[in-house]
Structure 1
């Protein structure tokens, strides 16, 4: 017996590389994902930038960190999701999740410890970033190229 029901059909959402955010030794690729619009609302983007400045550890390049990663800003249907990810120890991704009600973008709270990880759209960014890290850093025949990694972004409807 099928007890699974959906509140609405799963539609494509735009995923956009928004900017390269640089602060305190960090170089962070910023992605926007949006439900029912082309990109996240400006107030959510601003709240995510503020959050990034406190969520990424300091110093950027210590304890196996390289000072590079990405920030996902997902203006979702019922909630806003922001995830902070950074690379360390060659092949490890550190992932943290923050959520706020859709009507209060600045009320982002950390939910990492709850086990919430990513929705299917967030996972598209994570999969792309994983593949880019492998191609540009870990398996690059010319050696690790962090700049090439930072210059490669995801764009499209997924």
Structure 2
């Protein structure tokens, strides 16, 4: 069980990663004791994110979204989010045994019916605002690379 206190965590934006046929903005979120831990190699991250994408693949999925690698006080978590049917966000969340190995074991968190923790919610708010500003308010007829350019450039950095 987590303790009832709040301490800010570091958020870093690591750009966009092509995973299967999806483009995901990559975030790291770190509890203070993990502030200096390195990001795993890109190929390890890609393999991990593929597991979340496979569960989410639906016809109305835009194949665009973001992922959070969260070094939390009680474990390592990966959240894969994709925009669906214009204005909805789909989530696949996992607990990870070890982010540094090429084939980490992922335990789905679907049975917990948890959306996100307070630190992750700060990234969700940023991403919601970026999607509205860069995509929905533009009223595009389709999600082209030109339409998505501003969304992919917008990334949260700082603390949550």
User: Is the pair's TM-score, using the shorter chain for normalization, greater than 0.5?
Assistant: yes
TM-score by length of 2: 0.80
Aligned-residue RMSD, C-alpha: 2.7
Structure 2 unpaired stretches of 5+: none
Partner of 2:126: 128
Equivalent pairs counted in the alignment come to: 150
Offset of residue 43 of structure 1: 4.0
Compare CA radii of gyration and give the structure with the larger one. 1
Alpha-carbon distance in 1 for matches of 2:123, 2:5: 21
CA deviation vs aligned residue, 1:88-116 (integer Å, no higher than 9, x gap): 11001001110135xx4423211123202
1:119 to 1:40, Cα distance in 2 relative to 1, 3 A: farther
- Tell me the TM-score normalized by structure 1: 0.81
Q: Choose from 148, 154, 157 the match for 2:156.
A: 154
Please give the secondary structure, in 2, of the residue aligned with 1:139: helix
CA contact (8 A) 1:33 1:40 kept: no
CA distance in 1, matches of 2:108, 2:12: 23
- Stretches of structure 1 that go unaligned for 5 or more consecutive residues are 1-5
Map residues 76-95 of structure 1 onto 2, 5 A cutoff: 76-95=72-91
- TM superposition shift of 1:49: 2.7
* 1:49 corresponding residue in structure 2: 46
SS of equivalent residue, structure 1 residue 116 = coil
Deviates more, 1:35-44 or 1:125-134: 35-44
